[in-house]
Amino acid sequence: KKDAFQTDVLVVGSGPMGATTALALATYGVRVQVVNRYNWTANTPRAHITNQRAMEVLRDLGLEDEARRRATPWEWMGDTLFTTSLAGPEIARLRTWGTGDERIGDYLQASPCPMLDLPQNKMEPMLVTHAAARGAVFSFNTEYLGHEQDADGVTVSLRDVPSGREYAVRSRYLVGADGARSKVMDDAGLELRGQLARAATAYVLFRADLSRYAAHRPSILYWIATSNAAFGEIGLGLLRAIEPWDQWIAGWGFDMEKGEPDFSPGEILKKVRILVGDPDLEIEIDNASVWYVNQAHAPVYSKGRVFCGGDAVHRHPPSSGLGSNTCMQDAFNLAWKLAFVLRGHAGTGLLDSYSLERATVGAQIVARANQSRLDYGPLNQCFREAGAEDPVAAGLARLAAPDAEGVARRAALAEALRLKNYEFNAQGVELNQRYASAAIIAEPDAGEETWRRDPQLHAQASTRPGAKLPHAWLVGSDGRRVSTLDVVGRGKFTLLTGLAGQAWKEAAAAMDLPFLRTVVIGEPGALDSYCTWHALREIEESGALLVRPDGIVAWRRHSGEGLDAAGAGVVLEAALA
Ligand code: FDA
């Protein structure tokens, strides 16, 4: 009985996972309630790199323009610097996040969206505000205590934090978006594999106008090689621009065996002055904290009516910038499935595909982010001399030497920098996700996908079932460019065909399904004026793609030749079943 449920989906957590889930569900018209034990959203910047796939999620949900307004723009993200201090001699630079001359075209071709730098304390309020405006209910100061599920729903125990009052909410589904110490996950009995806290980093948020060191070589990451901030796997200090150029994070690895670092104002100032290279610098300290490097993932994300996502199920360091991006994509994968099942458009079996599709991605990104830390090793070797009194000064002297060893070190530096593309220009890691589940109708004879270039570095456009619909610019009804991604999504399935695919169009019209739209590329509103779609579609013009609400190709048929509307209807019905 519907009345027995106070909400259809209860979400624990309003971080990137919870807030995106709520935003998407509210957009699709689903009743959703979010609880967060704190009074508001993230109080520090945390994750910030926002990749093209996460931006596509925001574009579909109508928030791309606002994200662009709030963020540090793409062109300021790019000149990642390796230097002895901000004021001191530079060692090397890498054009990053696709901004380099040799990569920018790849990035522009693969997505209508830019990358952005949008710290979590700007992203979360945006997601939450719009979710609430679209009808999501937010209960802050509300702690999740436990849950019990039965055949019809989940009874969730909550506590109002200010009063201590405990009460229960009845929901049809529960989403555990409660982060890296997820209690929902533990309570649901989901397994986590891997290692927690295998290394540690100090993070200090401070204010100081550093524009004289940064504005002429804009970047969001400045890596500092100094013997005073050299502990750990990365072996470099970090200055990260939060609000260019007067709000920053200083980060450095510390030895966990010796306990937490000394965060007294005097010690912090000493450290920041070393990283900046200015002995007279004055700073305003906002916050100091530590975080631990995890390498763990859950092989299964759901149990019955409980679905976990985000850091609850994949725990990894910030290297590669995959944190909030992956959370938002988990949410985007899950939300439309919950909406379809709740509306009766799909059977509950659809929900099983969430874990199958996203757990594979989670395992990949946990491995990638941790490998990206290890990949600083070769770089460090180029400008460090183990055993010397000042290892960095001695190493840098060798790196600059005109002798054969200097030549060899400089060659090694080029190679070590090249390796860092797997962290900083890894468009393939971000866009080449391929799903396999019962919600994807694989082509029986398709065989394995052949990767034309390195699949970690390069995105590969494909209309194979399980891949994201390729982006191509079309011409829309008002003469402006629209992406292929803009004519699909927004909570519906899309049947995509060409002018020669009229049989599909007629068959879909006859089916008259509220969740299915048909788009004919070549008709007004979706003109392939640049012929880019023609080059990317991998099917004949009379063929068809069925694209899911999350922009993933669910099924394709290479040709519709010989099919009349009745025949096409039979094929389509099978695809939608
Ligand atoms: P997230 O942890 O963001 O949110 C969990 C939510 O659940 C919160 O709203 C919390 O209050 C709530 N919650 C938890 N338990 C609850 C309970 N019992 N009852 C009610 N509510 C509960 N990543 C990255 O890619 N780059 C980076 O630079 C950084 N930097 C960084 C710095 C620091 C200091 C931290 C702590 C983390 C990072 N991260 C990061 C990681 C990044 O922040 C992380 O990947 C995402 O925030 C995870 O998003 P989730 O939504 O999964 O959880």
3 pLDDT more than 70: no
Non-local CB neighbours of 417 within 8 Å, separated by 6+ positions: 92, 94, 379
154 pLDDT more than 90: yes
Question: What does the mean pLDDT of the chain come to?
Answer: 96
Structurally, at CATH architecture level, domain 74-112+194-295 sits in: 2-Layer Sandwich (3.30)
ipTM associated with this complex: 0.97
Per the structure block, which two tokens stand in for 347? 């059977």
- Report the b/e string of 466-504 with b at 16+ CB within 10 A: bbbbbbbbbbbeeeeebbbbbbbbebbbbbbbbebbbbb
179 C-alpha vs ligand 1 centroid, how far in Å? 5
In contact, 468 and 551? CB cutoff 8 Å:
yes
CATH number for the domain formed by residue range(s) 431-576: 3.40.30.120
Q: Which atom of ligand 1 is nearest to the CA of 321?
A: 25
In contact, 22 and 309? CB cutoff 8 Å:
no
Arithmetic mean of pLDDT, 199-214: 96
Any idea where the domains of the chain sit in the sequence?
2-69+114-192+298-371, 74-112+194-295, 377-419, 431-576
Per-residue DSSP letters for 140-163? -SEEEEEEEE-SS-EEEEEEETTT
Work out whether the CA dihedral 536, 537, 540, 541 comes out positive or negative. negative
Task: Please report, as a single letter, which amino acid is at residue 576.
Answer: L
Query: For residue 148, what pLDDT is reported?
Result: 98
Per-residue pLDDT tens digits for 421-455: 999 999 999 999 999 999 999 998 889 999 999 99
Q: What is the DSSP letter of 78?
A: B
Q: What is the largest CA-CA distance in the chain?
A: 81
Cα 213 from Cα 14, distance rounded (Å)? 36
Q: Which atom of ligand 1 is nearest to the CA of 178?
A: 7
Cα 140 from Cα 201, distance rounded (Å)? 29
Q: Which atom of ligand 1 is nearest to the CA of 14?
A: 9
Per-residue pLDDT tens digits for 300-331: 999 999 999 999 999 999 999 999 999 999 99
The domain defined by 2-69+114-192+298-371 folds into FAD/NAD(P)-binding domain (3.50.50)
325 C-alpha vs ligand 1 centroid, how far in Å? 12
Residue whose CB lies within 8 A of the most ligand 1 atoms, among 311, 329, 429, for a mutation test: 311
Would the CATH topology of 2-69+114-192+298-371 be identical to that of 74-112+194-295? no
64 C-alpha vs ligand 1 centroid, how far in Å? 22
CA distances from 264 to 112, 260, 268, 280, 463 (A): 46, 12, 6, 18, 55
Per-residue pLDDT tens digits for 63-117: 999 999 999 999 999 999 999 999 999 999 999 999 999 999 999 999 999 999 9
Name residues contacting ligand 1 (CB within 6 A). Answer: 12-18, 35-38, 44, 46-48, 120, 143-144, 177-180, 183, 203, 289, 291, 310-312, 318, 321-324, 327
Q: Where are the alpha helices (DSSP H) in 322-425?
A: 323-343, 352-374, 377-382, 391-399, 404-419, 421-424
327 C-alpha vs ligand 1 centroid, how far in Å? 10
